[in-house]
């Protein structure tokens, strides 16, 4: 049985832990340069603020509805994410960190009532970190994801679903009739991997609810759409077929993370996997013509193996200039691992995530105050990195992934202050001593 | 805050977390002669191990004001807060009162929760439900800096 655990409105929830005056108010978190809303509190959603909506379009709510807007604080979100991930990893033998605030847990072989375990897990994360989570359970990842959606909506909008599904929902634990009631109450767009465009096309074909999709003919879906949609339907029917490499990517984030087949204890092994992950996310970023403002890296032992010594550090490294350059991303990730690694631990997973993403062209025309390219990549100074990266991607496509890679650990890149404009950023409460909360006595 | 069982949640001991400082290094100490048996070497005592029981639930705050002087907490001190510990009578806690963080001693009485200052003349705070009051976490350690 799978679970999908995620933090409700992650970025806003992190901000609220350290600034209680934000509780109950409409809050949005803005992307780099304070351009668009990348996270919304429920109150902001109720005002009609849409995901990725430009700030200038909703700015009037500041005056009329007390909307609070904050610049993204990725150091804070990265640290809180690491805490939450480590806590939930204790409950299941396998964890797949899917995005900064979501992780799949595989409960295979775990005894006990999973709804009870799910509620305990949720209570523990809330107590230890202050972050509210939702837990969805199901026999496949797609059903767990859907159950998570139901858990969230049942809490946020009473009446949308049975209240017993609020916060923790187990779709592997209900009879067919109930399952079909849930399916028919859910629009097809809520299904993992079904995007807006596909929702529109499905709707033209008369498929509007999840129940319509489940009952549709798989073969014709494959012909009209894709193998992925076919897999999705099979998963909704209870047959697991999404593996880590082919599942839909998380929105707004570029992440590459794996649990290792066998534990890694030595630094060179970790550096190697982290370099691979880093170059894969860098390639992904270039495909989407995006650049990252910061790189989040984590390594972790398995908290589920309670007899193992535990170590699960993570770090969010801001880049001098936003980048999708494999050399910069790999260099940054490798330095992060070198700093975090400690001998004597059985590391079980690692991940590299690009955060604070923005369109790649956005930073062009900026004065090169930091001389970043030259500093970070000796020998590559002043060359246009995009042509090199195009060549690298082409070679990797032709000869297989990893054909051409960066010789790791040669880069001693510096990192300094974030280049982006972040006028409304909250203090980095958990990563900078000068910025911790002050309590009155 | 939701309560788990009385002893707090059953957390794994996650020692020696260097946190998010990628620059931290730690020297190992060679003891005796020859190679140490097994792969568990001996490392220098680490304040993280000594002071932090639940790394995922531990946070730092700085204190301003002297209402808690009699319990050894002064203005400018750093406090460690462990949210995994279920607050109970007598604990020094960080609470949220009128949207601000306040450090007080928790006093559970029949009529409700009272947040007590230790210094005479500092008013106690009576917790009322529904005005955003919450106990944020339990203070487990105080770190003072001596003039040197």
Give which of A80, A79, A71 is closest to A37, Cα–Cα. Answer: A71
Query: Does A379 have pLDDT greater than 50?
Result: no
Determine the pLDDT at residue A377: 44
More confident residue, B46 or B14: B46
Query: Does B36 have pLDDT greater than 70?
Result: no
The helix or strand, by DSSP H or E, that contains position A40, with its residue range, turns out to be strand A37-40
Is-contact A352 A281, C-beta < 8 A? yes
Q: Exposure pattern of A198-212 as b/e (b: 16+ CB <10 Å)?
A: bbeebeeeebebbbb
Tokens of A399: 């000869």
Q: Exposure pattern of A283-312 as b/e (b: 16+ CB <10 Å)?
A: bbbbeeebbbbbbbbbbbbbbbbeebbbbb
**Is A63 in CB contact (< 8 Å) with chain B?**
no
Q: What is the residue-averaged pLDDT of chain A?
A: 87
- Enumerate the residues of chain B whose CB falls inside 8 A of the CB of residue A303: 12, 14
How far is residue A375's CA from residue A381's CA, in Å, rounded to a whole number?
8
**Using one digit for the tens of pLDDT, what is the confidence trace for A66-93?**
999 999 999 999 999 999 999 999 999 9
How far is residue A427's CA from residue A437's CA, in Å, rounded to a whole number?
8
Determine the pLDDT at residue A408: 52
**Is B94 in CB contact (< 8 Å) with chain A?**
yes
- Enumerate the residues of chain B whose CB falls inside 8 A of the CB of residue A126: 1-2
Query: Does A300 have pLDDT greater than 90?
Result: yes
**Is B72 in CB contact (< 8 Å) with chain A?**
no
Continuous H helices in B52-140: none
**Using one digit for the tens of pLDDT, what is the confidence trace for B108-130?**
888 888 999 998 888 888 887 67
CA distances from A113 to A1, A339, B5, B74 (A): 11, 40, 18, 47
Is-contact A247 A142, C-beta < 8 A? no
Distance from CA of A224 to the nearest CA of B (A): 47
B83/A440 touch (CB, cutoff 8 Å), yes or no: no
How far is residue A329's CA from residue B144's CA, in Å, rounded to a whole number?
40
CA distances from A147 to A51, A121, A128, A182, A226 (A): 21, 16, 24, 9, 24
* pTM listed for this prediction: 0.80
**Mean pLDDT of the region A237-253:** 79
Determine the pLDDT at residue A406: 61
More confident residue, A28 or A257: A28
Is-contact A258 A301, C-beta < 8 A? no
Is-contact B67 B104, C-beta < 8 A? yes
**Is A427 in CB contact (< 8 Å) with chain B?**
no
A78/B75 touch (CB, cutoff 8 Å), yes or no: no
Is-contact A329 A408, C-beta < 8 A? no
Is-contact B115 B90, C-beta < 8 A? no
Phi and psi for A285 in degrees, rounded to 5? -60, -40
Query: Does B80 have pLDDT greater than 50?
Result: yes
């Amino acid at each position: 049985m799978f679970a999908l655990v995620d933090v409700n409105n992650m970025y806003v929830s992190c901000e609220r832990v350290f600034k209680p005056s934000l509780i109950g108010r409409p809050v949005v978190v803005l992307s780099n340069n304070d351009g668009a809303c990348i996270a919304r509190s429920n109150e902001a959603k109720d005002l009609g603020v849409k995901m990725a909506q430009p700030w200038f379009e909703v700015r009037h709510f500041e005056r009329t509805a007390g909307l609070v807007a904050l610049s993204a604080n990725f150091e804070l979100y990265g640290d809180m994410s690491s805490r939450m991930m480590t806590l939930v990893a204790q409950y299941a033998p396998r964890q797949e960190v899917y995005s900064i605030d979501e992780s799949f847990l595989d409960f295979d072989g775990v005894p006990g009532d999973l709804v009870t375990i799910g509620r305990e897990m949720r209570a523990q994360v809330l107590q230890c970190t202050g972050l509210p989570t939702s837990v969805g359970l199901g026999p496949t990842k797609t059903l767990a994801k859907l159950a998570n959606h139901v858990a969230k909506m049942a809490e946020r909008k009473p009446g949308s679903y049975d209240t017993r599904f609020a916060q923790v929902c187990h779709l592997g634990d209900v009879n067919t009739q109930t399952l079909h009631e849930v399916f028919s109450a859910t629009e097809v767009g809520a299904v993992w991997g079904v995007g807006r465009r596909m929702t529109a096309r499905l709707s033209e074909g008369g498929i509007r609810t999840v129940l319509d999709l489940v009952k549709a003919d798989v073969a014709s879906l494959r012909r009209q759409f894709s193998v992925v949609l076919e897999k999705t339907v099979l998963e909704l029917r209870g047959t697991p077929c999404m593996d880590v490499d082919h599942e839909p990517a998380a929105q707004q984030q570029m992440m590459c993370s794996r649990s290792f087949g066998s534990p890694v204890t030595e630094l060179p092994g970790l550096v190697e996997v982290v370099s691979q992950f880093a170059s894969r996310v860098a390639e992904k970023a270039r495909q989407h013509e995006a650049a990252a403002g910061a790189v989040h890296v984590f390594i972790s032992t398995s908290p589920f193996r309670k007899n193992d010594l535990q170590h699960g550090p993570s770090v969010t490294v801001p880049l001098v200039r936003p980048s999708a350059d494999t050399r910069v991303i790999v260099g940054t990730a490798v330095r992060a691992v070198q700093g975090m690694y400690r001998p004597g631990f059985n590391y079980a997973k690692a991940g590299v995530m690009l955060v604070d993403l923005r369109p790649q062209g956005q930073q062009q025309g900026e004065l090169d105050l930091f001389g970043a390219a030259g500093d970070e990549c000796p020998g590559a100074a002043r060359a246009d990195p995009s042509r090199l990266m195009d060549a690298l991607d082409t070679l990797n496509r032709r000869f297989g992934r990893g054909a051409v890679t960066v010789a790791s650990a040669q880069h001693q890149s510096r990192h300094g202050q974030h280049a982006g404009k972040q006028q409304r950023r909250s203090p980095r409460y958990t990563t900078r001593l000068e910025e911790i909360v002050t309590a009155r006595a | 805050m939701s309560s788990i069982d009385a002893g707090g949640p059953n957390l794994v001991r996650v020692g020696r977390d260097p946190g998010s400082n990628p620059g931290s290094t730690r020297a190992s100490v060679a003891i005796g002669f020859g190679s140490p048996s097994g792969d568990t070497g001996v490392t220098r005592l680490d304040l993280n191990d000594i002071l932090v029981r639940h790394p995922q639930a531990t946070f730092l705050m700085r204190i301003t004001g002297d209402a808690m002087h009699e319990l050894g907490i002064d203005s400018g001190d750093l406090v460690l807060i462990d949210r995994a510990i279920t607050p109970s009578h007598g604990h020094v806690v960080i609470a949220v009162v009128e949207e601000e963080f306040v450090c007080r001693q928790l006093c559970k009485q029949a009529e409700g929760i009272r947040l007590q200052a230790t210094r005479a003349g500092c008013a106690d705070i009576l917790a009322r439900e529904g005005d955003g009051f919450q106990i944020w976490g339990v203070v487990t350690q105080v770190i003072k800096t001596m003039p040197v």
